[in-house]
């Protein structure tokens, strides 16, 4: 039986009166592209910090590729690469020097070929000899990704990796991360860009108040929680409101529906009541709607 990439069992953590983690149970299989979502303060960063050995949990166990992060920290840490949310860097070294130093932390020498490959894939080759202080915020974040990959870990955790990164750099980063996932790396992503999670992640856990409140494949979450929407722009919005429409973006009214069979009767009622249809569009379920619904109901 294949070991899970990450196994989290009954993990708790308190900071005084604040319960950051309230008994988290989670297994992530090898090769998954997994999303860990939740509002600010949900416990995501605390969980990642515990996984990386930076925070000692009050209870429960965490394993990376079968290695306990407390009792077998060295082996667990070798198998894990973490891209932190904060921009943490040493201002006295160049990009290449930073990556060589990071390799040394794991006892790896002569790693320049792999460093070159990482730099090329993250579009950092031209910046290799620049001092870290001279880089933009987006480039610094790319260096953090490079640092997390330099020891070739099978499990990679990305904590808000595209915060502050422009669209072009973001697309290049995801291209590389997708390639790593295709090559067998397990990817765990936290992000506030829910369209990224919807596109990239095969399975998602949602946290609220330090607990897992939803866990399923992305497709199942979309099917179970989200509804379709019919958005209409009409001459008389008050009539659309009387039929159950709610205000959407400027000038539009929205009707939620479960099945496309409901659309024709909705349009017929709008026509019969003289709402005066000007324009319409259908909206597919999306992860943002799912997220809002789960957070409200949890």
pLDDT band with cut points at 50, 70 and 90 for residue 260? confident
Do 10 and 25 contact (CB within 8 A), yes or no?
A: yes
Q: Is the pLDDT of residue 28 over 90?
A: yes
Do 151 and 108 contact (CB within 8 A), yes or no?
A: yes
User: What would the two tokens of residue 274 be?
Assistant: 């003289």
pLDDT for position 226: 60
Q: Is the pLDDT of residue 90 over 70?
A: yes
- Is the pTM higher than 0.75? The answer reads yes
Tell me how crowded residue 205 is: count the other CB atoms within 10 A of its CB.
22
Q: Where are the beta strands (DSSP E) in 123-235?
A: 155-159, 186-190, 203-208, 211-217, 228-234
* Residues whose CB falls within 8 Å of the CB of residue 168, separated by 6 or more in sequence, listed in order: none
Q: What is the pLDDT of residues 156-190, one digit of tens each?
A: 999 988 776 677 777 878 888 999 999 999 999 99
Task: Considering only residues 58 and 173, tell me which one the structure prediction assigns the higher pLDDT.
Answer: 58
Do 179 and 117 contact (CB within 8 A), yes or no?
A: no
Q: 59 forms bridges with which residues in the sheet?
A: 12
d(CA 8, CA 215): 14
Average pLDDT of every residue of the chain? 88
pLDDT for position 225: 67
Task: Considering only residues 199 and 170, tell me which one the structure prediction assigns the higher pLDDT.
Answer: 199
Tell me how crowded residue 196 is: count the other CB atoms within 10 A of its CB.
17
Do 20 and 14 contact (CB within 8 A), yes or no?
A: yes
d(CA 137, CA 160): 13
67 three-class SS: strand
Q: How many residues does the chain have?
A: 298
Q: Is the pLDDT of residue 200 over 80?
A: yes
Nearest CA-CA partner of 95 in 62, 127, 120, 67: 127
262 three-class SS: helix
Q: Read off the pLDDT of each residue in 115-126 and give the average, rounded to a whole number.
A: 90
Task: Classify burial at 265, counting beta carbons within 10 Å of its beta carbon; exposed 0-12, middle 13-18, buried 19 or more.
Answer: exposed
Highest mean pLDDT among 207-211, 261-265, 284-288: 207-211
Percent of the chain residues past pLDDT 70, beyond the cut: 97
User: What would the two tokens of residue 115 be?
Assistant: 């460093």
Q: What is the pLDDT of residues 213-251, one digit of tens each?
A: 999 999 888 877 666 788 899 888 888 888 888 887 777
């Amino acid at each position: 039986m294949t070991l899970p990439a990450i196994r989290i069992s009954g993990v708790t953590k308190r900071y005084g009166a604040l319960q950051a983690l309230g008994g988290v149970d989670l297994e992530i299989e090898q090769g998954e592209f997994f999303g860990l979502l939740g509002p600010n303060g949900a416990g995501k960063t605390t969980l990642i910090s515990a996984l990386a050995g930076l925070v000692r949990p009050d209870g429960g166990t965490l394993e990376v590729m079968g290695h306990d992060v407390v009792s077998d920290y060295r082996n667990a840490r070798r198998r894990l690469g973490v891209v932190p949310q904060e921009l943490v860097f040493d201002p006295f070294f160049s990009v290449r020097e930073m990556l060589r130093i990071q390799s040394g932390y794991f006892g790896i020498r002569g790693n320049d070929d792999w460093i070159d490959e990482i730099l090329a894939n993250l579009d950092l080759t031209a910046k290799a000899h620049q001092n870290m202080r001279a880089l933009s915020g987006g480039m610094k974040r790319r260096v953090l990704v490079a640092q997390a990959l330099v020891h070739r870990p099978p499990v990679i955790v990305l904590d808000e990796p595209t915060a502050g990164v422009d669209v072009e750099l973001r697309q290049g980063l995801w291209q590389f991360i997708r390639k790593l996932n295709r090559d067998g790396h397990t990817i765990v992503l936290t992000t506030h860009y829910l369209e990224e999670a919807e596109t990239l992640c095969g399975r998602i856990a949602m946290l609220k108040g330090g607990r897992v409140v939803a866990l399923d494949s992305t497709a199942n979450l979309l099917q179970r929680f989200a509804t379709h929407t019919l958005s209409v722009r009409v001459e008389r919005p008050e009539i659309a409101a009387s039929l159950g429409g709610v205000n959407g973006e400027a000038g539009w009214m929205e009707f939620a529906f479960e099945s496309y069979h409901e659309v024709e009767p909705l349009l017929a009622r709008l026509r019969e009541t003289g709402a005066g249809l000007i324009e319409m569009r259908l909206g597919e379920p999306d992860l943002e709607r799912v997220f809002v619904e789960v957070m409200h109901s949890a």
